[in-house]
Structure 1
């Protein structure tokens, strides 16, 4: 009998044991969890919500890039490319850049709201890479970004 297999859609708190998009063999299961052999070569119980059937596609971020000069804008647009070739975008800023934005005289509204905004400590490429990879591993990057029209 062939073993049942599943695909990871979110690593959750198991980034040490799971790889998003990787297929795992089910060793055992109960009502809410699968037992698999994780990337760390140990058996581990993980919620079924972290997995999808192997036929279901799992989009994974392949690359990203700044679309704006980071020193010229308070809100910096970033384009993200996924494993199926689709592209999405989001906005990145820092607490300091938000203060600068609200200090401008042309501000009409006392607040700002963007679903696709990520607030970072800095705009350093390495830190943004870590954050985008983390959000991708949590299966949250698609939801917090917007489709890039024309891609």
Structure 2
């Protein structure tokens, strides 16, 4: 693997030395500790967790744009979620549901709700439905390489 190029998929706490999506040449590898040594963006050679890279050199998938698929109502008693769809850099489209804490609380306080809780893999809770709040969270998830796991593929059977 030495002298092979790998692509950074998440900088994690190493944003000073790594750039998401950038290709780096492997200088050394420690397979016992799953660490890779590369030349940092700021110059020195440094060890990083191998989990921060696509070792096969494949490009990362980035969020290009997103849009609301539902009308955002400002009813304080609303219980429904809002759906959004996203366009990704590989040409795919994805979607997820958004809740605010208030709407989630309203839903769970319904008298006849069954089951009395929920787990939805493609649900993201936001502070508000303000565009800035949504973009901030989507950008964070994208940079941490978690957006794909927090959304589902969009196809004709899921819309």
TM-score when normalising by structure 1:
0.83
Deviation at 1:41, TM superposition (A): 4.1
Aligned match of 1:149: 155
Aligned match of 1:124: 130
- Cα offsets for 1:49-103 (capped at 9, x unmatched): 1112354232111111111122266311111111111001011111111122234
Match of 1:53 among 32, 52, 55: 55
- In 2, Cα distance between the equivalents of 1:82 and 1:95? 27
- Structure 2 residue runs of 5 or longer lacking an equivalent are none
- Cα offsets for 1:123-151 (capped at 9, x unmatched): 22112112112111222111121110139
Aligned match of 1:36: 38
Contact 1:66/1:77, CA 8 A, preserved across alignment: yes
Contact 2:94/2:151, CA 8 A, preserved across alignment: yes
Aligned match of 2:98: 92
- In 2, Cα distance between the equivalents of 1:38 and 1:131? 27
TM-score when normalising by structure 2:
0.79
Give the 3-state SS of the residue equivalent to 2:41 in structure 1: coil
- In 2, Cα distance between the equivalents of 1:131 and 1:41? 30
Aligned match of 1:15: 15
CA RMSD across the alignment: 2.4
Q: How many residues align?
A: 150
Give the 3-state SS of the residue equivalent to 1:21 in structure 2: coil
